[in-house]
Structure formats: C-alpha cells, structure tokens
C-alpha cells in the first residue's frame, strides 16, 4: 500500500472520473435492449435471459413452491442471523419515517407538507455466482416501512434456472410481494415500462453491473431511481493508538469487493502507517478474494500522512467517503468536523462489516464522493411530499396586489388575471 | 377545450412521452459544449455567450455596482411584494428543516442520522427576454435556510450585457453570494466542473431550456441536480358549485407558460363543463400570451367528465399533476384520497398563482407525472444525511457470529475476517 502526503492526495482527488461522457456503442446497446423489451414484453425478456444468463425459462415469476424449497435449504444459523439483522434494520429505519405536518400562520391560512408512500418499487438484486441477502433486506425493509403498496424484486437466475435460496428467504422475510427471474438492462426496462408478467413500478432501487447502472441512467425520469453506484470506498482515520490489525482487516474488507474499490487510511502517525503496511501484506496473503483485493490495494489503496487531525478531517470532507471509520480517541467529539461521509463508524469496534449487515442503518451509501450531496438509502427514498395550500378569501385579498405585481414583473399576465378575477368579487 | 370521459383519459395517459431515447445530434452538441468548457474554462464560456446570447462580455461576474443600479431601477411596490413573498417562503421552509437525531437502543450502542448542508449550490435562472425573480427566491431561500455555504447563481445576459434588475434585486434579497452572466449548457458545465472565475458547485438547481435540461442530465452524478422539469400541468377538480370564471382563469394561468403545458379539469358536472368551455374561450381572447395559451389548450387542454369524486381522485392519482386544485366543497376532507400531486390547492381562493409567488411552499414542483415519486424542491434538497454507528466491544461481541454467517453467505470472507480479528481479542 502506497504511503503519500496529504497534499499529494489532494492532487489525486482532482483526477476523479466523470459522468458526462457518451459511450456510444455501449449506450446504443443498452438502449436497444430497453427498446426491444418495451416492444416485445415478456418474449424479449425471456430471450435476453437465455442469451445473457444461459437459461431458457418458462416462467419469470418465482413460485410459492420455490420459496418453500429455499426455506428448507438454508441453515438455522442463517435464519437467526437474518432475523437479527431484520430486527435491527427495522428499528433504525422506523425512526426515519417522516410524518405529514400542517401550519396555521393565522386563522385564514393552512399550509402543509403531506407525506405519502410511493405506489410501487422494483428492487434489483445482483445474482449469478454471488448472492446478496443483505441487499434484499436493505432495500425492501425501508420500502415496507414507508408503506409502499407493491414491492417487486428482480434478480438474474443461475444457469439451472434457480435463485439462490438465501436471497429468496431474505425476500420472503422482508415482505417482498413478487420475485422475478430477470437481470441486466432487460430487468430495468421491464420494471420501468412493464411487460405482460412484470408490472411497471414508479421507482427502481438496488445495485447492479455496468448494464444495470447505464439502463437506470436512461430510464431515469420515466421512473425514479435510487442512485448510480460507483466503486465503493472506505476511509479510516487513525492515530498512534489505533490497532493496525483491525484497521488492516477493515480496509481489506472494502478492497475485496471490487478491483476498483478504494481503501484509504489517513493518519497522523508514521509509526502506525508502517505497522499498517506490514499488516495489510500479512492479511492480504490469507484472503479468499486475494486477487481482487490486491489489485484494489495496489491501484487505489493509500496511506495518507497528515500533521493534525484537523488536516485529516479536511481531506475526509474533500474525499466524501462512502464509509468513514474514526478509529481515534473520543471519536464522538470529532463528529462535528465531518461534513461529507455516507456512514460514520465510531471507535475500534464499529467496523464497516457491522454496518453492512447488522448495525441498523442502511448499507446502500453514496459512493465516489457523492456523499457530498447524497444520503444513504432510507425510508425517505420510498415516500414523497406534496405541498398543501389553503387560503381563505380574506387571506388571498391581503396578498392579491403583491401577487399581481410579481406576476406582471415576469410578464405572466394570465397569472395576474387569475388573481384579478377574484379581486373583482371582493 | 376538448371534453372527454374518464376512460378515454386513462388511454391518453398511457401515451406519455419517455426519457430513454438517445437524441444523437443533440446529445453530441450538448456534450461538446460541456467538454469545451471543461478544457478551456472562462474563454469557452465567454465565446459561447457571444455566440448564443449575442453579447461580448469582459467579465462574467455581476459587480456590486450593477446590483446597486438594479436596486434603484425597481419600484417600491416590487420591493414590497418581493419582501412579502420572501417572508412567507422563509417561514414555510424553516418548518422543513430537518435535525440530526440519535438513538440509544441500549447503553453500548449509539446510532444516528447526522444532517448537514451541502457545501455549495449553483442556481440556474432563465433569462433573455423573460425574467423570473420568483425562481430566484424559490431556489435560493431553501438553500440559505439549509445553511449552504456558497450560493452561486447563473443567468444568461440580455443583448446589452445586463441582467434584468428584478432578478438582481431578488438575488440580493435572497442572499445569493455570486451572480454570473452565463446561460445554456455552458453555464451548467461551468457550475459542474468550474472555470477560472466560476467555482465548481456540488449541486445545480433551477429550470432552463432544452439545452440546460439535457446538460443537467449529463453532468448528473458528477454533481447533484434537482430534477429535469418537463412541461408543467394543472388539474382542477370541480363540481356543480365551482366558479367557472375562477377555474378558467387558473387553467389559463398554466396554459400561458408553454405550448406544451397541460391544463386539465376533472368534473362530475356536465353543466359546469359547458360553462367552463365558454369561459375559457372568453378569457383566452383577452390574454397577452394568447397564442401560447391557445396552442396549449387545443393540444393538451381537457375537460374530463366522471361520475363520482372517487373516480376523479383515481384519475388525479394516475395523472400525478404538478398542481392540483380541489375547487370542491370541503376540500380538506378529501385530502386523504390524494396520493400523487406536487402541490394541492384547497378551495376557490387558493389559485395556482398564489402558490407560484406568495403562499410559502415552493413553486418548483415535480412535472409530467413525476409527482408519483418526487417531491417539491425543499430545504431537504440542500442537505444530506450521514449514518452514525457506534458499537462498544461488548455490543459487537453479541452480534459477531451473526455478521460472520451473513458475510460468509455472500462469500465476502474479508468482511467476516474483520469481525474474526476482533473476536480473537474477546
């Protein structure tokens, strides 16, 4: 792992990748999948599934029997862990639920903000070789708590046409209403526009591969999407007293996700930095996903030496990391210095993996610096607001002239007229 | 204005336009403007301004003197109206401001949601012939209340190089920090990536023409954007007792915005419907913006006859209108039936124009059916959340095995390892 100074890191941050690029061949490819699904519905979805997932399905929907089989297939321990996670995730997210409110500035005016769940959501869960029951919980439970009427889930089938049983059991536990065996851009198109079997939803959430991400970018506007996740990252802030074994394990837990994942440690201590380098080497050699983690560490892993914690926090705010671990003394005291981070983990015993599975807050977090303007996935993503305005005749009369003046300053005389016709009656 | 049945309208709703289309020439055009601004900075911005706005500027930033001149140029009445609007908008939006919160599920766990303003915002205000001081207030005031550190505003200059004085005065009143004379895709690129004069921001809000909207779609991800506004719409729900003069004026106030605006009335009363048709004709003839409004009414204006109010509300929820006026008896009692609408106006004396300028809630609302999943612009758009997680050693010990089981079910053994290295110490 490369050790550099804070000033060098600032330079590196300026080189971040960007979105405003047309990847013509790729975009055409994705758009043609979307278009064909819109025109041909289920038939196109089944064709693409045969082509991309290597399996010829008769039915896109997972049956009740398949769910029952999955329930038999998973261990008691898994059930225990899943339910424990469900309970903690539910209890945190319930605290997020917003209520409608009303104001009475005076007796002739009512203003309000009405909060309503969205009607339906489609959750994308990656599949194939990997299985992510935690993704199911983290997307479906907030939607359920919000009160979303229809929760559909899509996930690509394995080559034998089945879905991983851990994923099916998680969907059942989280209250998913329908599960479809479909992945890729074809799944996003089906959710956005509907097919004979798959009902159109109003919002699509959940992570996916490059095709899924690009398809989400294109259907955005016709349906809502959560966010387009980039490579994920962790930033550990450490001092002389930080345990290098823990810090190394946490950095590597991020690195094993993806060759493009970034594991970064900002520290005031050169002694710690050299211990960490050694510890990363040692643990890396023992990892199952050693190849991926090694590439990530070599390319994007950084130990950044700074003089003070204030300098560390300044770098953190520029980086706006997805996961931030403050593995320093009295971490709570430094919370006010952190402006930009997806999730902030305090102390030595709050590793990222705790947040990924069990702590309660959502593990879907803004990546690649987007924590500067985005929030973790939450109940608020499955609800929306409507303003409510009531003015009595006298309340309107009081502001009528002001509205007319403003409307006329914008040359919107029709707007002014809608006040004048009422004024005529006063 | 065309009168149709509810069932016909449902069919029409299925024909709505969609986003997942590559408009190759247009996209290339927009992307090339973005790219040139990124490469050449101010010089490119000045060149595009000469080309598109027909004015050669020396300086992009509006000076203090220009603002002082604008203050002299506007009327006392305008100042009064502007300040009255500012006060009402501020007081509503202050009620939206969210606070950070913390939970203690037990004595060894702290979980929280920390709410922080975004660092900076860029507000786009359309210019040229038109001037929209209300747009300035509706974008800048929520950002100010959120606590955004730097509020920049961009607006295209007039041919003489000046900015409309009403817009400048509104910006000053609303607390905008910097005002730049630039519009179009070049303004969006400058805000997204920065130039010598214009600092990069983390979020861009505000309405604009097709170039602005498309540029926002492309920079989305590198910066946050508010929403891509489509043509706007109003839906009036009316019965036998609704005043057709008011209803017609309100429908036309929407129609005058844009040829593509949709003014729709859903009513249980055939008598009212025929009165409304006549009244629309009569008022249309008197409008300054008659040509635009006529096109809008002819193409997208609809009176929809339904049998019951329940049927009306069902249509409203499918339409998910930007503005909904319930001009019926006891409108508050029907609020629970409305799931999808940007803003809900209750009664005869709460016309859309009241909400556009003065009532308090934001006039930036989700258009074209996106109220099914989006909210009005609000203070929440200028703040973001970070999760906070603290587990003590014993709290982690209690869930350690469950985390390991879940991580291993996802084959993320590095995640499991970050728990195991700690377990070794227990």
Interface of A with B in 378-407 (CB under 8 A): 378, 380, 384-393, 395-396, 399, 401-403, 405-407
Q: Please say if B323 is a catalytic residue.
A: yes
Query: What proportion of chain B, given as a percentage, has pLDDT over 70?
Result: 98
- Quick check: B198 and B60 in contact, CB under 8 A? yes
The answer to whether the CB atoms of B418 and A82 lie below 8 A apart is no
CB-based contact, B80 to chain A, within 8 Å: yes
Mean pLDDT of B338-367: 97
Per-10-residue mean pLDDT of chain A, 426 residues long, equals 87 68 81 94 97 95 97 97 98 97 94 98 90 96 98 96 97 98 98 97 94 91 85 94 97 92 96 97 93 93 96 96 97 96 98 98 94 97 98 97 96 95 85
Separation of alpha carbons A277 and A295, rounded Å: 15
**Predicted pLDDT of residue B25:** 84
Non-local (6+) Cβ contacts of B412 within 8 A are A253, A256, A257, A289
CB-based contact, B13 to chain A, within 8 Å: no
Q: In angstroms, what separates the C-alpha of B59 from chain A's closest C-alpha?
A: 26
**Chain A contacts of B28, Cβ < 8 Å?**
22
The answer to whether the CB atoms of A412 and B289 lie below 8 A apart is yes
Question: CB-side exposure of A74: number of CA atoms within 13 Å?
Answer: 27
Residue B15 has pLDDT above 80, yes or no: no
Same structural domain for residues A257 and A402?
no
Confidence of residue B9 (pLDDT cuts 50, 70, 90): confident
**Residue at a domain's end among A225, A248, A276:** A225
CB-based contact, A306 to chain B, within 8 Å: no
Same structural domain for residues A252 and A201?
no
Whether B2 is covered by a domain: the verdict is no
Same structural domain for residues A297 and A181?
no
- Quick check: A183 and A155 in contact, CB under 8 A? yes
Tens digit of each residue's pLDDT (9 = 90 or more) over A286-299: 999 999 999 999 99
State which H helix or E strand residue B204 sits in.
strand B203-205
Interface with chain A: mutation pick from B386, B398, B413, highest number of A CBs within 10 Å: B386
Query: Annotated binding residue at B134?
Result: no
Written in H, E and C, the secondary structure of A201-221 is CCEEECCCCHHHHHHHHHHEC
Whether B36 is covered by a domain: the verdict is no
**Predicted pLDDT of residue A19:** 59
Identify the CATH number of the domain in which residue B197 sits. Answer: 3.40.50.1980
Domain count, chain A: 3
Nearest Cα to Cα of residue A372 among A338, A337, A345? A338
Mean pLDDT of B70-99: 97
**Predicted pLDDT of residue A227:** 81
Separation of alpha carbons B279 and B256, rounded Å: 16
Whether B29 is covered by a domain: the verdict is no
Nearest Cα to Cα of residue A66 among A198, A182, A179? A179
Interface with chain B: mutation pick from A385, A404, A413, A423, highest number of B CBs within 10 Å: A385
Same structural domain for residues A214 and A236?
no
Separation of alpha carbons A356 and A351, rounded Å: 9
**Predicted pLDDT of residue B18:** 60
**Predicted pLDDT of residue B202:** 95
Same structural domain for residues A48 and A181?
yes
Helix A270-284 and helix A290-300, axial crossing angle in degrees, nearest 10: 150
Separation of alpha carbons B384 and B115, rounded Å: 6
Interface with chain B: mutation pick from A85, A115, A353, highest number of B CBs within 10 Å: A353
Separation of alpha carbons B417 and B243, rounded Å: 71
The answer to whether the CB atoms of A354 and B20 lie below 8 A apart is no
Same structural domain for residues B209 and B296?
no
Tens digit of each residue's pLDDT (9 = 90 or more) over B213-266: 999 988 988 899 998 777 889 999 999 999 999 999 999 999 998 899 999 999
Same structural domain for residues B113 and B236?
no
Nearest Cα to Cα of residue A350 among B218, B379, B112? B112
Average pLDDT over chain B, rounded to an integer: 94
**Predicted pLDDT of residue A16:** 63
- Please report, to the nearest 10 degrees, the dihedral formed by the alpha carbons of residues B7, B12, B13, B17 taken in order: 170
Interface ipTM: 0.95
Tens digit of each residue's pLDDT (9 = 90 or more) over A101-113: 999 999 999 999 9
Which residue range(s) make up the domain with A244?
A: 2-17+230-373
Interface of A with B in 108-127 (CB under 8 A): 110-111, 113-114, 116, 118-119
Q: In angstroms, what separates the C-alpha of B415 from chain A's closest C-alpha?
A: 5
**Predicted pLDDT of residue A18:** 60
Q: Which of B411, B419, B421 sits opposite A130 (nearest CB)?
A: B411
Which residue among the candidates B323, B334, B352, B363 is catalytic per the annotation?
B323
**Residue at a domain's end among B225, B245, B268:** B225
Three-class DSSP category at B3: strand
Nearest CA in chain B to A204: B373
State which H helix or E strand residue B170 sits in.
helix B165-174
Whether B14 is covered by a domain: the verdict is no
Written in H, E and C, the secondary structure of chain A is CEEEEHHHHHHHHHCCCCCCCCCHHHHHHHHHHHHHHHHHCHHHHHHHHHHHHCCCCCCCECCHHHHHHHHHHCCHHHHHHHHHHHHHHHHHHHCCCCCCEEEEEECCEEEEEEEEECCEEEEECCCCCCCCHHHHHHHHHHHHHHCCCEEEEEECCCCCCCCCHHHHHHHHHHCCCEEEECCHHHHHHHHHHCCCCCCCCCEEECCCCHHHHHHHHHHECCEEECCCCCCCEEEEEECCCCCHHHHHHHHHHHHCCCCCCEEEEEECCHHHHHHHHHHHHHHHCCCCCHHHHHHHHHHHCEEEECCCHHHHHHHHHHHCCCEEEEECCCHHHHHHHCCCCCEEEECCCCCHHHHHHCCCCCCCCCCCCHHHCCCCCCHHHHEEEEEEEEECHHHHHHHHHHHHHHHHHCCCHHHHHHHHHHHCCC
The answer to whether the CB atoms of B21 and A31 lie below 8 A apart is yes
**Predicted pLDDT of residue A239:** 96
Q: In angstroms, what separates the C-alpha of B17 from chain A's closest C-alpha?
A: 8
**Predicted pLDDT of residue A11:** 82
Same structural domain for residues A305 and A216?
no
Nearest Cα to Cα of residue B118 among B381, B376, B387, B388? B381
Whether B45 is covered by a domain: the verdict is yes
**Predicted pLDDT of residue A135:** 97
Same structural domain for residues B323 and B415?
no
Query: What phi-psi label fits residue B194: left (phi over 0), alpha (psi between -120 and 50 degrees) or beta?
Result: left
Length of chain A: 426
**Predicted pLDDT of residue B8:** 85
Whether B264 is covered by a domain: the verdict is yes
Same structural domain for residues B268 and B301?
yes
Q: In angstroms, what separates the C-alpha of B44 from chain A's closest C-alpha?
A: 17
Whether A28 is covered by a domain: the verdict is no
Same structural domain for residues A56 and A190?
yes
**Bridge-partner residues for A302, per DSSP?**
A2, A264
Which residue among the candidates B66, B256, B322, B352 is catalytic per the annotation?
B322
Return the percent helix, strand and coil in chain B, to nearest 5. Answer: 50, 20, 35
Whether B26 is covered by a domain: the verdict is no
Question: What is the CB neighbour count within 10 angstroms for residue A277?
Answer: 18
Residue B152 has pLDDT above 60, yes or no: yes
Same structural domain for residues A57 and A197?
yes
Separation of alpha carbons B265 and A358, rounded Å: 50
């Amino acid at each position: 792992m490369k050790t550099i100074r804070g000033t060098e890191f600032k330079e590196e941050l300026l080189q971040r990748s960007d979105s405003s690029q047309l990847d013509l061949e790729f975009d055409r490819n994705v758009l043609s999948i979307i278009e064909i699904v819109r025109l041909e519905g289920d038939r196109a979805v089944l064709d693409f599934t045969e082509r991309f997932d290597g399996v010829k399905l008769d039915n896109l929907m997972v049956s009740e029997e398949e769910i029952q089989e999955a329930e038999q297939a998973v261990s008691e321990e898994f059930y225990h862990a899943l339910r424990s996670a469900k309970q903690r995730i539910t209890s945190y997210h319930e605290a997020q639920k917003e209520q409608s409110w009303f104001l009475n500035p005076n007796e002739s005016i009512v203003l309000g903000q009405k909060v309503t769940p969205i009607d339906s959501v489609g959750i994308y869960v990656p599949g194939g070789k990997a299985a992510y029951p935690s993704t199911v919980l983290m997307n479906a439970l907030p939607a359920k708590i919000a009160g979303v009427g229809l929760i559909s889930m899509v996930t690509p089938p394995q080559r034998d046409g089945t879905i991983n049983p851990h994923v099916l059991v998680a969907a059942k536990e989280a209250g998913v209403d329908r599960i479809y065996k479909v992945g890729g851009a074809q799944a996003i198109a089906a959710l956005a526009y509907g097919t004979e079997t798959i009902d159109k939803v109003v919002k699509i959430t959940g992570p996916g591969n490059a095709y899924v991400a690009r398809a989400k970018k294109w259907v955005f506007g016709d349906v809502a999407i959560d966010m387009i996740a980039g490579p994920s990252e962790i930033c550990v802030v450490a001092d002389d007293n930080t345990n290098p074994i823990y810090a190394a394990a946490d950095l590597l837990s991020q690195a094993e996700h993806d060759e493009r994942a970034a594991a970064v440690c900002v520290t005031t201590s050169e002694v710690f930095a050299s211990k960490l380098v050694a510890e990363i080497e040692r643990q890396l050699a023992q990892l199952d996903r050693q190849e991926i983690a090694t590439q990530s560490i070599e390319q994007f892993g950084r130990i950044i030496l700074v003089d003070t914690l204030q300098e560390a926090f300044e770098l953190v705010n520029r980086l706006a990391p997805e996961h931030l671990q403050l593995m320093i003394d009295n971490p709570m005291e430094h919370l006010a210095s952190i402006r930009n981070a997806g999730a902030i983990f305090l102390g030595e015993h709050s590793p990222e993996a705790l947040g990924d599975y069990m702590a309660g807050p959502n593990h879907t977090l803004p990546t690649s610096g987007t924590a500067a303007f985005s929030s973790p996935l939450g109940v608020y993503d499955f609800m929306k607001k409507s303003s409510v305005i009531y003015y009595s005749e006298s309340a309107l009369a009081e502001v009528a002239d002001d509205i007319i003046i403003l409307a006329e300053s914008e040359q919107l005389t029709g707007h002014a007229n809608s006040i004048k016709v009422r004024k005529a009656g006063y």
